Protein backbone atom coordinates (compact mmCIF):
# COMPACT_ATOMS: atom_id res chain seq x y z
CA UNK A 1 0.00 0.00 0.00
CA UNK A 2 1.26 3.45 -0.87
CA UNK A 3 1.21 5.94 2.00
CA UNK A 4 1.82 9.63 1.50
CA UNK A 5 1.75 12.68 3.75
CA UNK A 6 3.08 13.44 7.18
CA UNK A 7 3.03 11.23 10.24
CA UNK A 8 -0.21 11.98 12.07
CA UNK A 9 1.52 11.55 15.42
CA UNK A 10 4.60 13.77 15.19
CA UNK A 11 3.45 15.79 12.15
CA UNK A 12 7.06 16.30 11.05
CA UNK A 13 8.34 13.12 9.39
CA UNK A 14 7.00 11.49 6.22
CA UNK A 15 4.42 8.76 6.88
CA UNK A 16 5.65 5.33 5.84
CA UNK A 17 3.00 2.99 7.27
CA UNK A 18 -0.68 2.93 8.24
CA UNK A 19 -1.79 1.44 11.55
CA UNK A 20 -3.79 -1.77 11.05
CA UNK A 21 -5.98 -0.92 14.05
CA UNK A 22 -6.88 2.77 13.77
CA UNK A 23 -5.66 3.78 10.31
CA UNK A 24 -3.26 6.47 11.57
CA UNK A 25 -0.46 7.31 9.15
CA UNK A 26 2.84 6.94 10.99
CA UNK A 27 6.55 7.44 10.38
CA UNK A 28 9.05 4.69 11.18
CA UNK A 29 9.63 6.18 14.65
CA UNK A 30 5.93 6.01 15.58
CA UNK A 31 5.08 2.65 13.98
CA UNK A 32 5.85 -0.77 15.43
CA UNK A 33 6.27 -2.95 12.34
CA UNK A 34 6.39 -6.17 14.38
CA UNK A 35 2.83 -5.47 15.53
CA UNK A 36 1.48 -3.52 12.56
CA UNK A 37 0.38 -0.80 14.98
CA UNK A 38 1.15 2.84 15.68
CA UNK A 39 2.68 3.61 19.05
CA UNK A 40 -0.67 4.96 20.31
CA UNK A 41 -2.40 1.60 19.69
CA UNK A 42 0.52 -0.33 21.20
CA UNK A 43 0.19 1.84 24.32
CA UNK A 44 -3.59 1.27 24.45
CA UNK A 45 -3.04 -2.48 24.24
CA UNK A 46 -0.64 -2.35 27.17
CA UNK A 47 -0.27 1.02 28.99
CA UNK A 48 2.82 -0.23 30.82
CA UNK A 49 4.43 -1.19 27.51
CA UNK A 50 8.15 -0.48 27.67
CA UNK A 51 9.39 -2.91 25.01
CA UNK A 52 8.29 -4.58 21.77
CA UNK A 53 6.71 -7.60 23.46
CA UNK A 54 3.11 -6.32 23.62
CA UNK A 55 0.21 -8.76 23.17
CA UNK A 56 -1.74 -7.16 20.32
CA UNK A 57 -4.56 -9.66 20.75
CA UNK A 58 -5.75 -7.67 23.78
CA UNK A 59 -7.11 -4.88 21.54
Instruction: Give the pLDDT score at 41.
Output: 95
Instruction: Give the pLDDT score at 58.
Output: 47
Exposure letters 37-55 (e unless 16+ CB within 10 A, then b): bbbbbbebbeeeeeeeebe
* Alpha carbon distance 25, 33 (integer Å): 13
Residues 6+ apart with CB under 8 A from 5: 14, 15, 25
pTM above 0.85, yes or no: no
Instruction: Give the pLDDT score at 25.
Output: 97
Instruction: Give the pLDDT score at 1.
Output: 55
Instruction: Give the pLDDT score at 3.
Output: 84
Q: What is the pLDDT of residues 1-59, one digit of tens each?
A: 568 899 999 999 999 999 999 999 999 999 999 999 999 999 988 766 554 444 445 44
Amino acid sequence: MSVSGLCQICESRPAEEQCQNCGTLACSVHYKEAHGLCVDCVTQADPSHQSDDVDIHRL
